Amino acid sequence: MSAELRAKLQEWLCSGDPVERAHAAWRLNQPDTLMPTPPDPPLIPLTESLELLRLVKLCRYRSTTGCGCSGARCGLQSAIVSHRDCLDCVRSYGAA
């Protein structure tokens, strides 16, 4: 928590507004470990992602049926795979 935010919350603890007081008390009692953590696995840079997506669309083992919102059926794995699985596959092997 930044020093500015902590100062504002300390100010709100003395506020006449019960909502501000309750919010400030709750936030100040939270552990400092609530900082956002990097996503696991890390995000793919946009330019790399767009290039990989182009390769995914060229892959002959990827099905083209369905809406595409939950990945695709992979002929190599004989299963429905996520977008991340497709991206990792074309990153490693290229478009088949």
Asked if residues 12 and 21 have their Cβ atoms less than 8 Å apart, the reply is: yes
Residue 68 confidence (pLDDT): 56
Angle at 55 between CA 54 and CA 56, to 5 degrees: 90
Residue 47 confidence (pLDDT): 92
Max CA separation in the chain (angstroms): 66
CA distances from 21 to 4, 14, 29, 31, 37 (A): 17, 7, 12, 18, 28
Residue 96 confidence (pLDDT): 67
Task: Report percent pLDDT > 90 for the chain.
Answer: 18
Give pLDDT tens digits for 40-78: 777 889 999 899 889 888 888 888 666 656 667 888 888
pTM over 0.75: no
d(CA 18, CA 78): 58
